[in-house]
Structure 1
Amino acid sequence: MFKRQVLLECVSALLILLFVYASLSKFLDFHTFYKEMNNQPLPDSWTPFLVWFIPLMEIGISVSLIFERTRLLGFYGALVVMGLFTIYTGIVLMHFFPYVPCSCGGVIKRLTWTQHLILNLFFVAISIVGVVIQTRKRFTNISITNKQNSFV
C-alpha cells in the first residue's frame, strides 16, 4: 500500500510539473504562443479562445492533481489531454499537414517530433497508472468504509 501511495505521489508530481511548466511557458511568451496558435491547422477564429483555454486547462488539471478529492478527475484530464496531444503528434509525424505547426513552449519546443511523441506516450502511460492506482485506492476505501458501517 505504501509503495502505491509513493508511486501515486510521484506520478501526480510529474504531471503537475509538466502542466504547470507548459502553461507558464505559454503565458510568459504569450505573444509567440498566440502567433503559433494561428499557425495551427485550425480556424484562426478559434485562437482567442484556445490561447486562454489550453493553459488554464493545464493549470486546472495541475490543481486537481494536488487534492485527494479531485485527483482521479485530474488523472483523467491528464490522460485525455496527453492522449489528444499524442494523436496530434502522430498526425504531424505522418505528414498529414502541408507544414509542421508547433505551439510548444520552453524546452519542449527543442524536441524533435519523434522525441515529442515518446515524451507524450510516457505521460499517457503514467496518466493511466495514476487512473488505475487512484481508482483502486478509491474502491478500497469505499469497500473498507462499507464494511465498517455494516458492523455499526
Structure 2
Amino acid sequence: MRNKQIIIEIVVILLVILFLYTGISKLVDFKGFTSDLNNQPFPNSLTPVLSWALPIAEIAIVVALSFERNRLIGLYAALLLMSLFTMYNALVLLHVFDYVPCSCGGVISKLTWPQHLVFNIFFVIIIFIAIKKHKSTISYNIQ
C-alpha cells in the first residue's frame, strides 16, 4: 500500500512541476504563445480561446492534483491533456500539417518533435499507472 502511494506522489509531483511550469511560461510569454497558436494548423479564430484555455487548464490541473480529494480528477484531466498533445505530436511527425511551431512553454519548446513525442508518451504512461494505483488504493480503503 505504501509503495503505491509513493508512486502516486512522485507522478503527481512531476505533473505539478510540468503543468505549473508550462502554464506559467505560456502566460509569461503570452504574446509569443499567442503568435505560435496563430501559426498552428487550426483556425486562428480559436486562438483567443486556446490562448487562455490551455494555460488555465494546466494550472487548474495543478490545483486539482494538489488536493487529495480532487487528485483522481486531476490525474484524468492530465491524462486527457497529455493524450491530446501526444496525438497532435504524432500527427506532426506523420507530416499531416505543413508547418507547425511548438507552442509549448519554456524549455520544453526546445525539444525536437521526436523528443517531444517520447516525452509525452512517458507522461501518458506514468499518469495511466498513477490512475490505476490511485483507483486500487481507493478500493482498498473502501473494503
Same fold (TM over 0.5): yes
Alignment partner, residue 47 of structure 1: 47
Task: Give the letter for the 2:99 counterpart.
Answer: Y
Distance 1:108 1:118 in 2: 12
Query: Which residue in 1 is equivalent to 2:140?
Result: 140
Q: Distance in 2 between matches of 1:133 and 1:112?
A: 32
The answer for unaligned runs of 5 or more in structure 2 is: none
Larger Rg: 1
Pairing 1:17–2:17 present? yes
| 1:8-28 Cα shifts (integer Å, max 9, x gaps) | 110100011100000011011
Whether the 8 Å contact between 2:36 and 2:103 is mirrored in structure 1 is yes
The alignment yields a C-alpha RMSD, in angstroms, of 0.8
Greater displacement, 32-41 / 96-105:
96-105
- Cross-structure match for 2:107: 107
Mapped to 2, the partners of 1:73 and 1:142 lie a distance apart of: 18
After superposing on structure 2, the runs of 4+ consecutive aligned residues of structure 1 that deviate more than 2 Å are: none
In the other structure, the counterpart of 1:150 is: none
Identity %: 50
Deviates more, 1:111-120 or 1:36-45: 36-45
Aligned position for 2:31: 31
Secondary structure of the structure 1 residue equivalent to 2:46: helix
TM-score computed with the length of structure 2 as normaliser: 0.97
Q: For structure 1, which runs of at least 5 residues remain unmatched after alignment?
A: 144-152
Q: What is the one-letter code of the residue matched to 2:28?
A: L
**Greater RCO structure (CA 8 Å; 6+ sep):** 2
Task: Tell me how far apart the structure 2 counterparts of residues 48 and 117 of structure 1 sit (CA, whole Å).
Answer: 26
Shift in Å at residue 53 of structure 1?
Answer: 0.5
Conserved in 2, the CA contact under 8 Å of 1:89 and 1:116? yes
Count of aligned pairs: 143
Structure 2 CA distance, aligned partners of 1:69 and 1:15? 17
Deviation at 1:139, TM superposition (A): 1.1
- Report matched runs for 1:56-135 at 5 Å: 56-135=56-135
Q: Structure 1 residue 141: deviation in Å?
A: 1.3
Q: Secondary structure at the match of 1:137?
A: helix
- TM-score between both structures, scaled by the size of structure 1: 0.92
Cα drift, residue 108 of structure 1: 0.6
Q: Is the 8 A contact 2:34 2:51 kept in 1?
A: yes
